Structure 1
Amino acid sequence: MKAKIFYFIGLQLLIFVLTFLIYGKCNLVYYANMSFYVGGLITFFGLMSYVVAGGFFDFFTESSRKVFTPKRLRKEVGKMRLPSEVFSFPNKPIIALGLSSLLCMCIALFVYYS
């Protein structure tokens, strides 16, 4: 639990630093913009790793290897790992971190427009 809070606070500090570096000042709109960019990027990365780890691209990868590999290299290609075996890290905390950043963006926009 402490690690998740540490990552969340670190991400918020990164968002504030990027806001100051890019915009030169910090207000709710600039914070919401940067939070959307960073949170969206992290969520996208987490969701893509979730899809790849789930085995969605395994059939395509294995078929492509069979079709495009010369016969003399088939044994070596058969020993290669599939994408779902490569992405074996936990991806749900990454998705949760990105979604928490997007939630902070929604709160900032709600405060700004109310």
Structure 2
Amino acid sequence: MKKKLIYFLGCQVIIFALMLLVYKNIQLVPYINMSFLVGGTITFVGLMTYVVSGGFFDFFTESTRKVFTPKHMKKEAEQMRLPSQIFSFPYKPIIALGLSSLFCMCIALFIYYSY
């Protein structure tokens, strides 16, 4: 739990640093924009990791190797790892971090439209 909180606070520090770098001030609308970009990017990376590690591209990779590999390199091509074997790290914490940043953005949007 402590590790997740540190990652979340680090993500918020990145959002504030980017906000100061791009907008040169700290206000609600720049926070909403940056948290959407950062949270959306992290969520996208987590979802892409989920898709690749789930084996979605394995069939495509195997068939492409069979068709486009020269005959004298067939053994080397069969020994190559599949994308699902390369991306074996957990994707759930990445998705959770991105969704938590997007949740903070939703809270900020609610505050913005309440006033």
Partner of 1:100: 100
Amino acid at match of 1:15: I
Deviation at 1:80, TM superposition (A): 0.1
SS of equivalent to 2:112: helix
Partner of 1:64: 64
Matched, 1:4 2:4: yes
Distance 1:17 1:76 in 2: 46
SS of equivalent to 2:93: helix
Partner of 1:51: 51
Partner of 1:110: 110
5+ residue gaps, structure 1: none
SS of equivalent to 1:89: coil
Distance 2:28 2:62 in 1: 48
1:43-70 Cα deviation digits (max 9, x unpaired): 0000000000000000000000000000
Aligned residues: 114
5+ residue gaps, structure 2: none
Runs of 4+ in 1 over 4 A off after TM superposition: none
TM value normalised by structure 2 = 0.98
Matched, 1:15 2:15: yes
1:77-92 matches, cutoff 5 A: 77-92=77-92
Distance 1:4 1:48 in 2: 21
Partner of 2:25: 25
How high is the sequence identity, in percent, across the aligned residues? 70
Deviation at 1:85, TM superposition (A): 0.1
Distance 2:112 2:27 in 1: 10
Partner of 1:37: 37
TM value normalised by structure 1 = 0.99
Distance 1:62 1:108 in 2: 46
